């Protein structure tokens, strides 16, 4: 057993930490206040190779695997959950669906531009009536010659207002339902910045937090996709999408790990500095218990995230652990933000602090990429499978 990161992974962490401190941090408050994604920061991330961290070099990536990708997400999550979400949706679910489901032609066609940041990616699964029940999607893909025609809409899509390449799941055979009759496609929604024919970016969501990460609906009306853009097999797109989300959940755990670590750091600094009743508040056992609980949970999460990344990189089963990364990561980060807010007192409620922003930004991590209730169901399903019991048809 070796708990050391490789020299390459250590160098990557140093690179990302410097980038996050020097480029991401100064842009964070402005993006939160204006709800404008910091596009120049994303461009700079691309320029130093960060948008291709997990992918093999032959597709323009850094070849740092899931472990490297978790390092990227942890370090970005430490500074700004919004930027981590824009980059996470681009790499970890948008481009990842093309990598996992695409044949050699599609990988070579799309991944180099995505790794170089020439194009931004999104992952479009959710619809108005299909959230947790993703199998009830209705976006229709109808065969016409050697193309498919998309009609319908998606909603709540991260990077929807920015992306020109999207992985999208649509129903190709309604009689079979989504599990056997849905197909994944890679589509091009914008050309030179203008919406492609048949595509309309929908309503821009005004959210509680994550203001630097744009979210929107998508609308398709007679939108043509060449048949060669199918990811995986026709009718088996649900598998591609679920596999992609499994990998994405590990890195979401890493982003929440970074966020939790950051609020602990702030809470320690503040507790050491703030005096009440003639002494530092850090001398109160109630404060000590809170920071000790935070640190213990963060350490446990760190082990889980990087062990799961190791499972992914070594081609071992990881679905149960991925669900745990997402479940525990989001709940540990929420508890840490809550405790940090308590330690900060009134100041933690002020828009002048990062703790207040973290509070708003963190809340969504218990909801997106599969709610925590759904994670518990998926984990239980795997546990029962291990003892030979199938709890879902
Ligand atoms: C900021 C943001 C970004 C997003 N980005 C993307 C994206 O890039 N791509 C994308 O496709 N989607 C995206 N989503 C959508 C997100 O994944 C869904 O919101 C999420 O899956 C939950 O779906 P829902 O909101 O419809 O909730 P619902 O499914 O309606 O769930 C409501 C509540 O009921 C619970 N529930 C539902 N079914 C069960 C059950 N069987 N057992 C127990 N409890 C249950 C849920 O856990 C939840 O608490 C994003 C959402 C947000 C807010």
Which among 23, 66, 356, 369 is annotated as catalytic?
369
**Residue 178: what pLDDT?**
85
DSSP output for 202-266? EEEP--SS-TTS-EEEEEEEEEEEEGGGEESSTTBHHHHHHHHHHHHHHHHHHHHHHHHHHHHHH
* Residue 165 dihedral angles phi and psi, to the nearest 5°: -125, 130
Percent of the chain with pLDDT over 90: 96
**This prediction's pTM:** 0.97
**Residue 240: what pLDDT?**
98
Nearest to 297 by CA among 345, 347, 263, 343: 263
Atom of ligand 1 nearest to the CA of 89: 8
CA-closest residue to ligand 1 atom 27: 131
pLDDT in tens, 336-378: 999 999 999 999 999 988 999 999 999 999 999 999 999 999 9
Atom of ligand 1 nearest to the CA of 374: 47
**Residue 189: what pLDDT?**
97
**Residue 269: what pLDDT?**
97
Q: Is 327 in the pocket of ligand 1 (CB under 6 A)?
A: no
Residue 150 pairs in a beta bridge with 141, 223
For the segment 283-290, the average pLDDT, to the nearest whole number, is 98
Atom of ligand 1 nearest to the CA of 207: 1
**Residue 80: what pLDDT?**
97
Q: In the chain, where do the E strands start and end?
A: 121-124, 140-144, 147-158, 165-171, 182-188, 190-191, 194-195, 199-204, 215-226, 230-231, 275-276, 279-280
Question: What is the pairing mode between strands 147-158 and 140-144?
Answer: antiparallel
**Residue 156 CA to ligand 1 centre (angstroms):** 9
Using the predicted structure, report yes or no on whether residue 181 has a pLDDT greater than 90.
Answer: yes
Based on the number of CB atoms within 10 Å of its own CB, is 224 exposed (0-12), middle (13-18) or buried (19 or more)? middle
Ligand 1, pocket-test mutation among 81, 84, 87, 126, most atoms within 8 A of CB? 126
**Residue 359 CA to ligand 1 centre (angstroms):** 19
Distance separating alpha carbons of residues 68 and 62, to the nearest angstrom: 9
Q: Is 124 in the pocket of ligand 1 (CB under 6 A)?
A: yes
Q: Is 371 in the pocket of ligand 1 (CB under 6 A)?
A: yes
Q: Is 168 in the pocket of ligand 1 (CB under 6 A)?
A: no
7-115: CATH class: mainly alpha
**Residue 193: what pLDDT?**
85
Distance separating alpha carbons of residues 357 and 372, to the nearest angstrom: 22
Q: Is 380 in the pocket of ligand 1 (CB under 6 A)?
A: no
Name 99's Cβ contacts closer than 8 Å, sequence gap at least 6: 55, 59, 107, 111
* Residue 199 dihedral angles phi and psi, to the nearest 5°: -115, 130
The H-or-E segment that residue 289 falls in is: helix 285-313
Under DSSP, is residue 118 helix (H, G, I), strand (E, B) or coil? coil
Nearest to 232 by CA among 66, 106, 92: 106
Q: What CATH architecture does domain 121-235 belong to?
A: Beta Barrel (2.40)
Ligand 1, pocket-test mutation among 156, 379, 381, most atoms within 8 A of CB? 156
Neighbours of 389 (CB within 10 A): 9
Percent of the chain with pLDDT over 70: 100
**Residue 23: what pLDDT?**
98
Using the predicted structure, report yes or no on whether residue 1 has a pLDDT greater than 90.
Answer: no
Domain map (residue ranges) of the chain: 7-115, 121-235, 239-386
**Whether residue 75 lies in the annotated active site:** no
End-to-end, the C-alpha distance of the chain in Å comes to: 38
Ligand 1, pocket-test mutation among 367, 375, 378, 392, most atoms within 8 A of CB? 367
pLDDT in tens, 138-177: 999 999 999 999 999 999 999 999 999 999 999 999 999 8
Superfamily of segment(s) 239-386: Butyryl-CoA Dehydrogenase, subunit A, domain 3 (1.20.140.10)
Residue tagged 């180099």 (tokens): 112
| Average pLDDT value over all residues in the chain | 97
* Residue 198 dihedral angles phi and psi, to the nearest 5°: 90, -5
**Residue 130 CA to ligand 1 centre (angstroms):** 8
Q: Is 29 in the pocket of ligand 1 (CB under 6 A)?
A: no
CA-closest residue to ligand 1 atom 11: 125
Q: Is 86 in the pocket of ligand 1 (CB under 6 A)?
A: no
CA-closest residue to ligand 1 atom 9: 157
**Residue 131 CA to ligand 1 centre (angstroms):** 4
Q: Is 241 in the pocket of ligand 1 (CB under 6 A)?
A: no
Using the predicted structure, report yes or no on whether residue 393 has a pLDDT greater than 80.
Answer: no
């Amino acid at each position: 057993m070796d708990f050391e990161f490789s020299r390459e992974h250590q160098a990557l962490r140093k690179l990302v930490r410097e980038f996050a401190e020097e480029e991401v941090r100064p842009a964070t408050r402005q993006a939160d206040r204006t709800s404008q994604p910091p596009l120049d920061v994303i461009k700079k991330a691309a320029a130093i190779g960060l948008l291709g961290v997990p992918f093999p070099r032959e597709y323009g990536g850094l070849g740092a695997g899931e472990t490297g990708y978790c390092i990227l997400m942890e370090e970005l999550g430490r500074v700004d959950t919004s930027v981590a979400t824009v980059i996470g949706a681009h790499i970890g679910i948008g481009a990842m669906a093309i990598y996992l489901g695409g044949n050699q032609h599609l990988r070579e066609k799309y991944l180099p531009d995505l790794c170089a940041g020439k194009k931004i990616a999104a992952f479009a699964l959710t619809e108005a009536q299909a959230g947790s029940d993703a199998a009830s999607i209705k976006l229709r893909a109808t065969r016409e010659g050697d193309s498919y025609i998309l009609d319908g809409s998606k909603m709540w899509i991260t990077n929807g207002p920015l992306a020109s390449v999207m992985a999208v799941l649509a129903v190709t055979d309604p009689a079979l339902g989504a599990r056997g009759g849905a197909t994944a496609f890679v589509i091009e929604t914008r050309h030179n910045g203008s919406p492609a024919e048949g595509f309309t970016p929908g309503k821009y969501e005004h959210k509680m937090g994550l203001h630097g990460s744009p979210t929107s609906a998508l609308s398709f009306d007679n939108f043509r996709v060449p048949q060669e853009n199918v990811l995986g097999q026709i009718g088996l797109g649900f598998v591609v999408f679920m596999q992609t989300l499994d990998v994405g959940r590990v890195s979401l755990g890493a982003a929440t790990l970074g966020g939790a670590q950051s609020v602990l750091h702030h809470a320690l600094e503040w507790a050491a500095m703030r005096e009440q009743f003639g002494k530092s508040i850090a001398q109160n056992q109630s404060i000590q218990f809170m920071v000790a609980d935070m640190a213990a949970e963060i350490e446990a999460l760190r082990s889980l995230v990087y062990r799961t990344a190791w499972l992914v990189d070594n081609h071992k089963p990881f679905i149960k652990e991925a669900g745990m990364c997402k479940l525990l990561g989001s709940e540990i980060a929420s508890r840490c933000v809550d405790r940090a807010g308590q330690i900060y007192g009134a100041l933690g409620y002020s828009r002048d602090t990062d703790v207040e922003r973290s509070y708003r930004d963190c809340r969504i991590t218990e909801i997106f990429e599969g709610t925590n209730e759904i994670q518990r169901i998926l984990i239980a399903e795997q546990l029962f499978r291990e003892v030979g019991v199938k709890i879902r048809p």
